[in-house]
Amino acid sequence: MHLLLPGPTPIPKPVEQALLAAMTDHRGGAFETVQNRVLNGLAVLLGTDSQEHVAVLPASGTGGLEAAVQNLFHPNDRVLVVESGLFGRRFGEVAKAQQLKVDRMELTWGEALRPQAIMERIGAAPYRGVLVTHNETSTGVLNPIEELGGLMNQLPDPPLLVVDSISGVPAIPLTVQNGIDVIVAASQKGFMCPPGLAMIALSDRARSAVLVERAGRFYFDLWPYLKGQLPYTPAISLWYGLDAALQLLQQEGAEARLKRHQWLRDMVRAFGEAGGLEVLVPDHWASPTVTALGLPSSMNPSQFRRHLEQKGLQIAGGLGEWHHRVIRVGHVGAIDVGDLWAGLGLMAPYLPHPQQSLEAAMRVASIADQPRLEREEAL
Amino acid sequence: MHLLLPGPTPIPKPVEQALLAAMTDHRGGAFETVQNRVLNGLAVLLGTDSQEHVAVLPASGTGGLEAAVQNLFHPNDRVLVVESGLFGRRFGEVAKAQQLKVDRMELTWGEALRPQAIMERIGAAPYRGVLVTHNETSTGVLNPIEELGGLMNQLPDPPLLVVDSISGVPAIPLTVQNGIDVIVAASQKGFMCPPGLAMIALSDRARSAVLVERAGRFYFDLWPYLKGQLPYTPAISLWYGLDAALQLLQQEGAEARLKRHQWLRDMVRAFGEAGGLEVLVPDHWASPTVTALGLPSSMNPSQFRRHLEQKGLQIAGGLGEWHHRVIRVGHVGAIDVGDLWAGLGLMAPYLPHPQQSLEAAMRVASIADQPRLEREEAL
């Protein structure tokens, strides 16, 4: 099956091999080596120079969001949640469940947050935190988090900026620097691993703000992790996979990786537009990892996806407000231009303008000097 | 590396192969088949006839305990926690973190709970729940949960009996029947999978008691799961592994499985006793999945384990009160008598009476008609 999903994503061979590393005592020396290498690798990737600022939890990404909220905010702390789509809304639900006072800032679907508007909201109310989504998977919008962090960083005592980057980093580089305090990520997207691990990185400021005591927090208490312990049996095979994936990511480098994802995105957008689909997000907000495309009323999204699945391709459907007319094409992780062609080739015959769609994709694909992920070599 | 740990445990070949099933859309039809088969298999194994009484969470076992507590008890609900060792104590900590009123019943290390004593405590105070450990991994004690359930079941409106069976079921059969309301399990012990999944099964009564609203609960809200949804990206590869493992478990059958584990236990106990170690738990309480052995003062447990690791064997150290003089030999999951011999053979030379230890193990091993797990065949 070919996968063009915004996660889970294909597993590269070296990661697959690593996943099968024999089980071992997670409190023994052999695993400690892997643990240290993974935490160090993550620390570097997420822009902190210390293992004591990162944690890898046995949970899905949403568990990581709950951990961030439980560790940084008390009940009744007031936070601003920017809802740029379904996942922004979920972040708000996580915060509400932890009894925070949540002010919502709801964006129009398909639009990115405007840093200046958030600065105005911050100026008007004493927020302890601002909760935002880096890459909104439901709309395919990339939010300008670094710009927001830069602005907030100029305030004397800014709220903590907590970023859901589950479908962003490391495909889209982001670091806990320059006003960005917390990054939450997950294993099954840009990290090219199976789902099951949530990652958290903390800025110096965020680490100092981790609560000593907090009602309702146990499983997601970050303190043991920040002290280098793994309090509950870690998902060992996924750690081995992540270890191998971090080596691949390091070999590729952040800049080449971003360029690769942007290139895949540009192919999908050119393909969709020329093929007669509606490209729902303008260029300057378009996510490098997932693209939402509106179908003409003559096409039924679920039928379209069923046909594709029979041909051997999985793409994602629309979510929330875009449930009825939208498909989402994921292009994140261990995807190369060949994988994308497999999917575009299978999709094209169903589009209003099949030939134009493929021609447009080819024009983008043929741009020279495009990066390719080395993903076959054994480690 | 040979593993005689109380988890993680060796992964049988068919499970290993299943773990590498290609990634797929977890909201698509192919995964739904696996999801249904796994939930059905678990429901049967844990003694409920309905998928709507079981949940598989992306978490370690401790996450499963937190889920049980968050879904069944409000803050300030009064519960009795039976602390039969380190893991019983942890269950109490989980409950306290969720703001329950926790009454502790602390047992002497190495002893099992006495159902009658618990009945007396229940008679004296209005408890909403009784939280107990089925198989206490820190001491190697099997608690008589079924007897306790039977007694509680005779009360007109008994507290919910919530059982941490993370190192018990399915090696030691247990079902949500006859007064047992909740079973929490995990993937990395008797289920022969890598760590990363927690399982929960609920009796009819427990399912009716799952709270509609509960402050502080989001990630572990069981409702979506009980309605057949997977609200957050499931640990797909582990689900595939669990699917394969459930087939192996089904082929073996509960009775043969228990017999196999008891037989391995009896070998270890005979080996230890004849070899000059202290068998710390009397026969009638001895766990079929893990055995704690006291070393003579001439032997240093950590040095002993280091030597064994160099020879290619991992066993577990003592925990808590038994930290300084105890080793723990795990014999749970996909372990056969050959695996056990590998470990016993490597341990014997360090024991006070090497030859006697091996002779004693051989006497137990040679008992005819012992069951063996089929674990090599491809599915």
Task: Report the pLDDT value the prediction gives residue B368, as an integer from 0 to 100.
Answer: 61
**Residue among A62, A216, A316 whose CB faces B232 most closely:** A62
Q: Is the previous residue joined to A8 through a cis bond, with omega within 30 degrees of 0?
A: yes
* Amino acid code (one letter) for B205: R
Query: Cα(B233)–Cα(A305) distance, rounded to whole angstroms?
Result: 20
Contact A63 B232 (CB under 8 A): yes
Q: Does B229 touch chain A (CB under 8 A)?
A: no
Q: Does position A285 have pLDDT exceeding 50, yes or no?
A: yes
- Contact between B220 and B70 under an 8 Å Cβ cutoff? The reply is yes
Q: Does A22 touch chain B (CB under 8 A)?
A: yes
- Residue that wins the pLDDT comparison between A379 and A125: A125
Q: Does A124 touch chain B (CB under 8 A)?
A: no
Chain B's closest residue to A219, CA to CA, is B63
pLDDT band at A377 (very low <50, low <70, confident <90, very high): low
Query: Cα(B206)–Cα(B316) distance, rounded to whole angstroms?
Result: 35
Q: Any idea which of B51-55, B140-144, B222-226, B368-372 has the lowest mean pLDDT? A: B368-372
Mean pLDDT of chain A: 94
Q: Does A330 touch chain B (CB under 8 A)?
A: no
pLDDT band at A378 (very low <50, low <70, confident <90, very high): very low
Contact B309 A29 (CB under 8 A): yes
Q: Does position B378 have pLDDT exceeding 50, yes or no?
A: no
Average pLDDT, integer, range B91-102: 98
Q: Does A9 touch chain B (CB under 8 A)?
A: yes
Contact B22 A1 (CB under 8 A): yes
Task: Report the pLDDT value the prediction gives residue A365, as an integer from 0 to 100.
Answer: 85
Q: CB within 8 A of B219, min separation 6: which ones?
A: A59, A62, A63, A66, A94, A220, B232
Q: Does position A155 have pLDDT exceeding 60, yes or no?
A: yes
**Residue among B29, B30, B63 whose CB faces A58 most closely:** B63
Q: Does position B214 have pLDDT exceeding 90, yes or no?
A: yes
Interface probe for A, chosen from B237, B239, B305 (most Cβ of A below 10 Å), is: B237
- Using a CB-CB distance cutoff of 8 angstroms, which residues of chain A are in contact with residue B63? 58-59, 63, 219, 232
Query: Cα(B271)–Cα(A356) distance, rounded to whole angstroms?
Result: 75
**Residue among B5, B58, B60 whose CB faces A60 most closely:** B58
Q: Any idea which of A303-312, B142-151, B195-204 has the lowest mean pLDDT? A: A303-312
Average pLDDT, integer, range A177-182: 98
Query: Cα(B330)–Cα(A244) distance, rounded to whole angstroms?
Result: 29
Q: CB within 8 A of A153, min separation 6: which ones?
A: A178, A179
Task: Report the pLDDT value the prediction gives residue A24, as an integer from 0 to 100.
Answer: 78
Residue B129: name the closest of B34, B210, B221 by CA: B210
B284, with CB counted inside 10 A (0-12, 13-18, 19+), is exposed
Q: Tens of pLDDT along A48-95?
A: 989 999 999 999 999 999 999 999 999 999 999 999 999 999 999 999
Interface probe for A, chosen from B96, B232, B306, B323 (most Cβ of A below 10 Å), is: B232
pLDDT band at A26 (very low <50, low <70, confident <90, very high): confident
Interface probe for B, chosen from A16, A23, A187, A213 (most Cβ of B below 10 Å), is: A23
Report the Cα B218 to chain-centroid distance in Å: 25
* Amino acid code (one letter) for B51: Q
Q: Does B219 touch chain A (CB under 8 A)?
A: yes
Chain B's closest residue to A74, CA to CA, is B216
Q: Does B1 touch chain A (CB under 8 A)?
A: yes
Interface of B with A in 241-300 (CB under 8 A): none
pLDDT band at A368 (very low <50, low <70, confident <90, very high): low
Task: Report the pLDDT value the prediction gives residue A376, as an integer from 0 to 100.
Answer: 65
- Using a CB-CB distance cutoff of 8 angstroms, which residues of chain A are in contact with residue B22? 1, 3, 10-11
Average pLDDT, integer, range B295-324: 93
Task: Please tell me the distance in Å from A275's CA to the nearest CA on chain B.
Answer: 25
pLDDT band at A22 (very low <50, low <70, confident <90, very high): confident
Q: CB within 8 A of A323, min separation 6: which ones?
A: A317
| One-character DSSP codes across A109-171 | TT----HHHHHHHHHHS--SEEEEESEETTTTEE--HHHHHHHHTTSSSPPEEEEE-TTSTTT
pLDDT band at B78 (very low <50, low <70, confident <90, very high): very high
Q: How is residue B315 written in tokens?
A: 């066993």
Contact B215 A216 (CB under 8 A): yes
Q: Are strands B78-83 and B101-106 parallel, antiparallel or unpaired?
A: parallel
Residue B299: name the closest of B281, B326, B269 by CA: B326
pLDDT band at B379 (very low <50, low <70, confident <90, very high): very low
- Contact between B204 and A88 under an 8 Å Cβ cutoff? The reply is no
Q: Any idea which of A1-10, A269-278, A287-296, B141-150 has the lowest mean pLDDT? A: A1-10
- The single-letter DSSP state of residue B108 is P
Q: Tens of pLDDT along A236-246?
A: 999 999 999 99
Query: Cα(A163)–Cα(A142) distance, rounded to whole angstroms?
Result: 12
Residue A250: name the closest of A193, A191, A198 by CA: A191
* Amino acid code (one letter) for B125: A
* Amino acid code (one letter) for A365: A
Residue B29 burial (CB count, 10 A): 10
| One-character DSSP codes across B65-102 | HHHHHHHH--TT-EEEEEE-SHHHHHHHHHHHHTT-EE
Q: A218-254 burial, b if ≥16 CB within 10 A, otherwise e?
A: bbbbbeebbeeebbbbbbbbbbbbbbbbbbbbeebeb
Interface of B with A in 354-373 (CB under 8 A): none
Average pLDDT, integer, range A92-114: 97
Task: Report the pLDDT value the prediction gives residue A1, as an integer from 0 to 100.
Answer: 83
Residue B369 burial (CB count, 10 A): 6
Contact B233 A16 (CB under 8 A): no
Average pLDDT, integer, range B31-58: 96
- The torsion region of residue B76 among left (phi > 0), alpha (psi -120 to 50) and beta comes to left
Angle at A149 (CA atoms; ends A146, A153), nearest 5 degrees: 140
Q: How is residue B169 written in tokens?
A: 């079921």
Percent of the residues in chain B that have a pLDDT greater than 90, as a whole number: 85
Task: Report the pLDDT value the prediction gives residue A340, as an integer from 0 to 100.
Answer: 92
Domains, in order of start, for chain B: 12-252 (3.40.640.10), 254-365 (3.90.1150.10)
Task: Report the pLDDT value the prediction gives residue B23, as an integer from 0 to 100.
Answer: 75
Q: Tens of pLDDT along B82-93?
A: 999 999 999 999
Interface of A with B in 64-93 (CB under 8 A): 66, 93
Q: Does B215 touch chain A (CB under 8 A)?
A: yes
Q: How is residue A295 written in tokens?
A: 């179908």
Q: Is the previous residue joined to A170 through a cis bond, with omega within 30 degrees of 0?
A: yes
Q: Any idea which of A220-234, B19-33, B56-70, B267-281 has the lowest mean pLDDT? A: B19-33
Q: Tens of pLDDT along B22-42?
A: 777 777 778 899 999 999 999
Q: Does B232 touch chain A (CB under 8 A)?
A: yes
**Residue among A1, A58, A93 whose CB faces B60 most closely:** A58
End-to-end CA distance of chain A: 25
Task: Report the pLDDT value the prediction gives residue B377, as an integer from 0 to 100.
Answer: 56
Chain B's closest residue to A220, CA to CA, is B63
With tokens 């964006």, the residue in question is: A107
Residue B165: name the closest of B150, B182, B177, B153 by CA: B182
Contact A63 B7 (CB under 8 A): no
Phi and psi, residue B246, nearest 5°: -65, -35
- Using a CB-CB distance cutoff of 8 angstroms, which residues of chain A are in contact with residue B309? 28-29
Helix ranges, A253-336 (H): 254-275, 301-311
Q: Does position A30 have pLDDT exceeding 90, yes or no?
A: no
Chain A's closest residue to B87, CA to CA, is A232
Interface probe for A, chosen from B219, B242, B315 (most Cβ of A below 10 Å), is: B219
Contact A61 B233 (CB under 8 A): yes
**Residue among B5, B24, B219 whose CB faces A314 most closely:** B24
Query: Cα(B308)–Cα(B317) distance, rounded to whole angstroms?
Result: 12
Angle at B314 (CA atoms; ends B309, B320), nearest 5 degrees: 110
Complex prediction ipTM: 0.82
Contact A232 B23 (CB under 8 A): no
- Residue that wins the pLDDT comparison between B17 and B138: B138
Task: Report the pLDDT value the prediction gives residue B26, as an integer from 0 to 100.
Answer: 79
User: Alpha-carbon torsion B104, B109, B113, B114, what sign?
Assistant: negative
Q: At what angle do helices B236-252 and B254-275 cross, to 10 degrees?
A: 90
Sheet holding A278-279, edge to edge: A2-4, A313-317, A326-330, A290-294, A278-279
Q: Does B212 touch chain A (CB under 8 A)?
A: no
- Using a CB-CB distance cutoff of 8 angstroms, which residues of chain A are in contact with residue B60? 58, 232-235
Average pLDDT, integer, range B207-216: 96
Q: How is residue B95 written in tokens?
A: 């409950």
Phi and psi, residue A20, nearest 5°: -95, 5
A208, with CB counted inside 10 A (0-12, 13-18, 19+), is exposed
Phi and psi, residue A52, nearest 5°: -75, 5
